[in-house]
């Protein structure tokens, strides 16, 4: 389910913010928030996106700042065991535009990057801390599946959106002997993830995949309640960016994968 992102005149907001006192004030606040970000790369580009979105009344408590449509492909070995996930993140149009403009790319505005420009966006979101979970949460029989560090980042700019891909290997192959549940979410709600399409299974043909959409209002409600629990009711939205909360998987889409005999259960 793709969330409703609303309509913003992003190009106008981007230029209107430059050099303003409001920008300086919000930059100081969000810089404090950046220091507590856990792994998800908070670049200067993301900071600008956060500043823009936090000026919108519809942003509620200044979260989320970024919207990502996540795509997953399950990679299985010759024995049918799961070895990893190919992950695709499609960033929202506003955040994508801000990065492209801030990097000085697509100067002719045709939405197509040159070969040299395309090389510059490779790894734009790959500055992760070792051990970062990548906001990917697979579970089997209720037990989290151990993952290794992410690798093999690639990126492209297509139809006004930045799309990055990476490989997230498992710590060891996992036999698909029980149902696997997979979610992609940011427990701090800095990013709003959604899975518009069911994951693809590569390596065997006896698997069934069900995508269960989450409640779009659950995460904003949980975030608001968590912030109010820390700051009190009627909190200044600007103060929310200096507080880290954990709303867990509230509202997250879920993919259920069953293979072999379990696919018929």
In three-state secondary structure terms, 155 is strand
Question: What is the β-pairing status of strands 66-76 and 191-194?
Answer: parallel
pLDDT at 70: 99
Q: In the predicted model, what is the mean pLDDT of residues 223-243? A: 77
Identify which of 67, 69, 73 has the alpha carbon closest to the alpha carbon of residue 87: 73
pLDDT at 228: 87
Among 30-44, 139-153, 221-235, the range with the most confident prediction by mean pLDDT is 139-153
Dihedral pair phi/psi, residue 109, rounded to 5°: 70, 20
Q: Is 183 left (phi over 0), alpha (psi -120 to 50) or beta?
A: beta
Q: For residue range 191-219, what is the model confidence (pLDDT) as tens digits?
A: 999 999 999 999 999 999 999 999 999 99
Tokens of 188: 């701090």
Q: For residue range 91-124, what is the model confidence (pLDDT) as tens digits?
A: 999 999 999 999 999 999 999 999 999 999 999 9
Looking up tokens 């997250």, which residue turns up? 252
CA distances to 9, 32, 76, 139, 191 from 144, rounded to whole Å, are 41, 31, 18, 4, 21
**Number of residues that make up the chain:** 265
pLDDT at 53: 45
pLDDT(257) > 90: yes
pLDDT at 55: 46
Residues 6+ apart with CB under 8 A from 154: 122, 164, 165, 166
- Asked if 203 and 75 touch (Cβ cutoff 8 Å), the reply is yes
Tokens of 124: 């734009």
pLDDT at 237: 61
Q: For residue range 42-99, what is the model confidence (pLDDT) as tens digits?
A: 444 444 444 444 444 434 455 799 999 999 999 999 999 999 999 999 999 999 999 9
């Amino acid at each position: 389910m793709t969330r409703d992102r609303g309509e913003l005149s992003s190009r106008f907001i981007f230029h209107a913010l430059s050099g303003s006192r409001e920008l300086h004030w919000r930059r100081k606040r969000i810089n404090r928030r950046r220091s507590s970000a856990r792994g998800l790369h908070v670049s200067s580009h993301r900071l600008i996106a956060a500043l823009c979105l936090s000026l919108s009344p519809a942003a509620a408590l200044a979260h989320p700042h970024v919207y990502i449509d996540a795509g997953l492909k399950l990679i299985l070995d010759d024995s049918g065991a799961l070895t990893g996930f190919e992950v695709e993140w499609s960033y929202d149009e506003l955040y994508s535009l801000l990065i492209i403009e801030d990097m000085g790319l697509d100067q002719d505005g045709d939405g197509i990057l040159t070969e040299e420009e395309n090389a510059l966006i490779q790894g734009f979101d790959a500055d992760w801390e070792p051990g970062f979970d990548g906001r990917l949460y697979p579970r089997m029989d209720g037990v989290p599946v151990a993952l290794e560090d992410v690798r093999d980042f690639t990126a492209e700019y297509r139809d006004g959106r930045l799309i990055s891909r990476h490989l997230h290997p498992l710590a060891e192959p996992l036999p698909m002997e029980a149902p696997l549940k997979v979610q992609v979410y940011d427990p701090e709600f800095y990013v709003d993830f959604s899975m518009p399409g069911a994951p693809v299974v590569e390596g065997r043909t006896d698997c069934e995949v069900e995508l269960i959409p989450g409640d779009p209002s659950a995460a904003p409600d949980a975030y608001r309640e968590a912030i109010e629990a820390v700051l009190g009711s009627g909190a200044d939205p600007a103060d929310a960016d200096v507080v880290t909360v954990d709303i867990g998987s509230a509202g997250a889409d879920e993919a259920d994968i069953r293979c072999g005999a379990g696919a018929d259960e």
